[in-house]
Amino acid sequence: MARARPQADSNWEVPTVSSYRTYGARRVWHDLLAEGLSCGLHRIERLMRVHGLRARPRRRGLPKDDGLRSVIADNILDRQFTAEAPNQRWIADFTYIWTAEGWLYVAVVIDLFSRRVVGWSMSDTMTAQLVTDALMMAIWRRGKPDALLHHSDQGSQYTSEQFQRLMADNGVTCSMSRSGNVWDNAAMESFFSSMKTERIGRKTYRTRNHAKADVFDYIERFYNPTRRHSTLGYLSPMDFERQAHVA
């Protein structure tokens, strides 16, 4: 039997707090349903308005990288941002975070099956080692996948001999966005937009270590195990994999 309505009133704020006040009404509603609470979506929207709570809006605009490009792979992914099984299609990119000590660069690898971050690395330099370390973590975590497609942009880090050798040694097929076309890797841009909107953009970091700890917390303690995705039926990446019996 569903719980009484007053209990829903007393508990509806909990998902908003546990998501660092980044969830909108629909994600809060799905959290409440998962907890067995009976409450309509419109009621959640009304209560959030009454209490002055709303999801933090995304900042539009993408970072620009004017570095040289070397075309070494076709756009095999072709904006097909889904996969029928784990370890079929991975996407990758890196972003940068400002701290009082200077820039921190964060590289990420995502499995398109579940949108789970399977590899990441952080460094104060924007080198091939940064993206190589992220891919190495992904391969270590997921095993050595067969018939894997890895998609990135044409940045010098991904076209480097070091990175290309790692992919060749592990039988990974290389796919790259067309030059200057950020939409060819839109799912990756969406992840970074979420991370900056929901966490990074809300903070001021005095040290790189402070930023590193927060990025780790966002990925491993919030995004992968907890954050609900509309593309996954409002499940988190880890819950989606568990439901598919692949975790």
pLDDT of 21-74, one tens digit each? 556 666 766 776 666 666 776 776 777 777 666 665 554 443 445 555 555 899
Which segments of the chain does DSSP mark as H helices, in order?
Answer: 5-11, 13-18, 25-34, 41-50, 128-142, 156-159, 161-169, 186-198, 208-216, 237-243
User: Does residue 130 lie in a domain region?
Assistant: yes
pLDDT of residue 85: 96
User: Does residue 56 lie in a domain region?
Assistant: no
Q: How far apart (Å, rounded) are the C-alpha atoms in residues 17 and 116?
A: 22
pLDDT of residue 46: 76
Whole-structure pTM value: 0.74
Give residue 33's domain range.
5-50
Which helix H or strand E contains 91, and what residues bound it?
Answer: strand 89-99
User: Does residue 76 lie in a domain region?
Assistant: no
Provide the number of structural domains found in the chain.
2
35 shares its domain with 141: no
Q: Where does the pLDDT of residue 187 fall: very low under 50, low under 70, confident under 90, or very high at 90 and above? A: very high
44 shares its domain with 103: no
User: Does residue 66 lie in a domain region?
Assistant: no
22 shares its domain with 106: no
Residue 175, SS3 per DSSP: strand
